[in-house]
Every structure is written in C-alpha cells, then in structure tokens.
Amino acid sequence: MRLSAEEHRRLQRRHQRNRALTAWSFLLPNAVFFVAFLLVPAVYLFYLSFHEGGIITPATYVGLRNWTSLWSDDLVITCIRNTLYYCLMAIPAVFLIGMTLALCLQRVPAGSRAFRSLVYLPTLTPYVTAALIWLFVVQRDFGALNVLLGFVGIPPQNWLGSTKLAMPPIAMLEVWRGFGFWTLLFLAALLGLPRELYQAATIDGAGPWQQFRHLTLPLLRPTFYFAVVMATIWNIQLFDSVSILTDGGPVNSTTTVVWYIYKAMFQFNDKTGFAAALSFVLLLFILALTLVEIRLLRKRP
C-alpha cells in the first residue's frame, strides 16, 4: 500500500514525537532531582546573598553589603590562600603516587586484582574513620610519623599544633585517601593504550623512558585533562578533614573556603547572606579555574 505525502509526513512527525517523549522520559528523573536539589537551592542561595537571615530568622534585604564585605574580611583572603596552598601540595603528590603505582601494577599481572583492591582500600575509608586514624599517625608523643622521624634524628613535631606544620598532615591524609582512585584511573588508561605502538618503539630502539615520554604521556593527555580538572574541583572544596582534625586552627592556619562558608552559615551570627555570597564567589572561582585548565590542557604540545 502506497502512502500519500501527507500521511508520510504525519507518520514521520509521530515517530519524532515518540522518540522525543522516550528521551524525555529517561531525562525526567535526573531533571527533577537537578531542579529540586541543585537549581532551586542555588537560586535561593543567590537570593540570600542580598539579605540577612533567611534560614532561622526572616530575610532582611541589605543590598550589596554582603558582597562588599567579602573584600574587607581578612579571613576570606586567608581561606583562599590556605586552600590554594593545600591544592598545590595534594594534587601533584596524589598524581605522582597514582601514576607510579599504576605503572607498577601494569607490570604485575599475577595477583593484580588483589593489589588493586589493597590500593583502593583507603578510598573506601569514611572521612571520620580516616581522620581518627590520622590523629594517631601525627600524634606528637607516639605517632607513627614522629617515630619514623626519630629514626633519622629529627625530634618529634607538634604537627596539628603548629601554624606552619598543620596543613601538610591534612594534605597527606587526603593523598592517602585519594591515591587509590587515581591509581586505578591511570591504570585503566594505561591498559587501554595500543600495544602495537610500544612494540614498534622497542624495535626502533626506544628505551622505557623514551617510550614513557614520547608515547605514554601524549596518549594519556585526555586522562590527565580529566584528572586535573576533577581533582581541582574536588580538592578546592576541602572541608571534612579540616573540620575533624583542626577545626580551622591553629590561628586560622588551616581554614579553607568551604570551612568558612559552613561556619558563617550555621555558627556565626547573622552571616547567612555573607556565606551565600562567599559560596557564589567560590563557584565563580571554580568555573574560571576550570576554564583556564581546559584551555591550557587542550593546547597541542
């Protein structure tokens, strides 16, 4: 039976409508959660940034006062500096450890599943448990870290009680918790590289270092691109370890931006709008930093 042009167009429109409905039916659950738990709270938070109160007490409009007060608050600058200092310690360290272990696991086929499970185990440790473990590691009198330092003649250090030494243990804790994830990510990327290129490089006389430099690193560029962007977004929101280990001390040496937002929102009086404004500053900073990283990492070497 031959269809007319009008019937053909009608059937085509119906098919496109059914495909669109099917697609929206799959997207709808995530869209509902996105709107309810991300978009609406974000819009309300932006609204609160121009007000005082709004959570326990009624919201009172104050204009741009919360935004302007950010630049006169010395603790905001301290939080930003501490957060960047932490990221500069933690991100390169966790990448270096993760890549090194991934290269080692790539060459250990026997029992590799057991090794992978052991490497990933710290990542599964809850934050509170990991922080309590780390309290014993950096304890001044009998902590494992000071015991190891004692073997090389270095006296015990008051890690969490010193303004200069408090941030490195927090970075070490986050590296310990995170290296398993990045190890498996780099390992999966390494196992997916074409073996033929390495065989050809070996025939041409390239050694392990030449292969790593001229083959592995360029081929892993997309993985590094993803890793740097995601690690920056995750680590710049440091909160749990600081809250449990030092609560921002001593003398604000471990305060971070997210820690200050939490304190301003729930513990400091009449700073709800200030915390909302600082939250959006953090969001804009993360977006800007991510765009810069994407631009730099997408450039051809």
Of 141 and 183, more confident? 183
Q: How far is CA 113 from the centre of its chain?
A: 26
Burial readout 36-61 (b: 16 or more C-beta within 10 A, e: otherwise):
eeeeeeeeebeebbbbbebeeeebee
Quick one: 135 exposed, middle or buried, by C-beta within 10 A (0-12, 13-18, 19+)?
middle
For domain 76-125+159-297, give its CATH number from 3.40.50.300, 2.70.150.10, 1.10.3720.10, 3.40.50.10480: 1.10.3720.10
pLDDT digits (tens, 9 = 90+) for 265-277: 887 666 888 999 9
Looking at residues 256-270, what average pLDDT do you find? 84
Lowest mean pLDDT among 58-62, 253-257, 285-289, 291-295: 291-295
How far apart, in whole angstroms, are the C-alpha atoms of residue 294 and residue 95? 18
For tokens 């059914």, the residue is 18
Closest CA to 177 of 247, 231, 139: 231
Q: What is the reported pTM?
A: 0.84
Beta pairing, strands 60-61 & 51-52? antiparallel
Of 181 and 296, more confident? 181
pLDDT for residue 264 is more than 80: yes
- Round the average pLDDT of the chain to a whole number and report it: 85
How far apart, in whole angstroms, are the C-alpha atoms of residue 193 and residue 198? 9
pLDDT for residue 1 is more than 60: no
What are the sequence ranges of the domains in the chain?
5-65, 76-125+159-297
pLDDT for residue 8 is more than 80: no
Tally of CB atoms within 10 A around 75: 13
Tokens of 133: 């473990």
Q: Are the C-beta atoms of 96 and 228 separated by less than 8 Å?
A: no
pLDDT digits (tens, 9 = 90+) for 154-194: 888 888 888 888 999 999 999 999 999 999 999 989 888 88
pLDDT digits (tens, 9 = 90+) for 99-128: 999 988 888 765 567 778 888 888 888 888
